[in-house]
Each structure stands twice: as C-alpha cells, then as structure tokens.
Amino acid sequence: MRWITTLVVLIALVIGLGLWITRPKADGEAMVSGLTPDAAHGGVVFTASGCASCHMAEGATGADKLILAGGQAFPSQFGTFHAPNISSDPEAGIGDWSALDMWNALHNGTSPDGSHYYPVLPYASYIHLEPQDVVDLHAYMTTLPADDTPSKPHDVSFPFNIRASLGGWKMLFLREDWQMDGDLTPELERGRELVEAMGHCAECHTPRNALGGLKSGSDWLSGAPNPAGRGTFPNLVELNWSDADLVEYFTSGFTPEFDSAGGHMALVVENLAQLPEEDRAAVAAYIQALPLE
C-alpha cells in the first residue's frame, strides 16, 4: 500500500508542478505605463484587427456594427465558441478594463481574473501588437457604445473545457517570433504587421496540427479547411494575382475573375477598404513575397 501512496503523491506533485509552470501569465503595469493613448490610431488598429467583424451582434448593419454585444457562433472541432460582449458596458462588457487588462488579454491570452482565454481569441497573432497599439486600441474602444447583453457561454465539452490545459497549448504554440523575418523594406514591415498581427490572416488561411496550433514555414498561409465544415480558405501562396489585383480586391472585394468576396471575407474587405491605400498595398506586397522558407 505504501507504493500506492507514494505514486499518488508523485502524480499530485507532477500535476501541481505542471499547473504552476503553465499558469496564466500576466505582465505588470510597467508594460503600458508612460504611453500616451491615441484613440485615432486606436481606431485604425480596431479596424485592421477586425474586432467588430467578430464581436458585433449577428446580422448587425451600419452603425450597429460598433455595438460589440457579441453572440456570433464559431464552430470548430473542439466545440462551438461564442464571441463575448466586449462593449464599453462595465458589467456585461469590458468597460471596467484597464489598458493593462487589454494588453494581457491580447498578448498573453490571460483574463483580468487570471484565467486562460481560449485561442479563438487570436492572441497567437495579437501577441505581435506593440504596447502602444494596445493602449491606443483601449482608448478607442472606450468611446464605443455600451450594451448590457450577457455573453453566451462557450459550448465546449470535456476535456477541452479544462482551461488549465491551455497553459500547455501556449507553451507549445504561443510565440513572439515573426513568420516573415530578415531585412525587410518598410512596406513589407507594415504588411507583416497587418497580416501576421492585426489582420490575423493566418488564423483562417494556415492549416493547423491536431492540437490546433498553426503550422509554419511552407505551410504558412497555404490554405486550410473551414473549421465550421463548409469549404476551405484559399491558398494565398499560389494566388497568382498582381499587386493591382490584390489592392483592388482589398478595396472593392472584386477578383480578377469578376467574382466577389463572400462570407466572413466580405467583412475583412470592408475593414481593409477603410485603411489607407498604402496599407492595402503593404498587405499585397507581403502576399507577393510568399512562400516563406
């Protein structure tokens, strides 16, 4: 019987050590202190990041898209996730968040109460945002309407409903390294910022492994199945369009074949069209530089 007791103690120690190692990470106030908020730039970050596209109510149009009441469903092989209310309501939304709370959510995937967020919040991409970007985004979002619609709970079953396990996922897949690196031109640096960070394009256009981690290298932006089970997201590496074709698509949604963007991509185009043309050109330049080694 003594060996059973020893085994139980060892298992408990291993589990405890694992939970401690993979505990939610949170940065301190020094990360954002001394930064002056620029809400105007925060609006650009908000638009480029597609915040409203996921967090507006289902079917919202016009100005109602800025009422970030949440509720849209995102099916996946791990369960169905529901976009939460991130309006400025202090109870139903995130109106009581500080800029540091937002930084920890987007950079570390950690909630203000110290728990792991599911990576359906694309913090694996947002980890590349600069502290100033997040401070500015926070300042802009405080200007948006409040809504008291309660967030819907995620429909995720065992074992994926054990949030503590997400610490292990982060250890495996949460990286600050850029996919495109090296001596880049200013245009490519801006394109990288828009594609890999704000626009989180890889979240849809890059295949994943069995644990839901994004693949890299030659697989980056090479197309992926739709987790909702309907069709696939296209391969951007083999997209033989000119720079002008890409910029036009990001502006109007029309392809060189006279087709048009549909589904969620129509919302992405709507966001890109609000950015300066040089930003759309920078995204085009990034895509033209693919594939990565």
Q: Average pLDDT of 14-21? A: 51
For residues 87 and 144, give the distance between their C-alpha atoms in angstroms, rounded to a whole number.
Answer: 7
Name the 3-class secondary structure at 108: helix
What are the Cα distances from residue 46, in Å, to 18, 66, 153, 190, 253?
A: 36, 10, 24, 16, 20
This prediction has a pTM of 0.90
* Residue 4 confidence class, pLDDT cut points 50, 70, 90: low
pLDDT of 13 above 60? no
Most confident listed range (38-52, 160-174, 253-267): 38-52
Query: Tokens in use for 151?
Result: 């967030």
pLDDT at 20: 45
φ/ψ (deg, to 5) at 289: -80, -5
Q: Average pLDDT of 62-75? A: 93
- 16 versus 236: the higher-pLDDT residue is 236
pLDDT of 6 above 90? no
168 CB neighbour count, 10 Å cutoff: 15
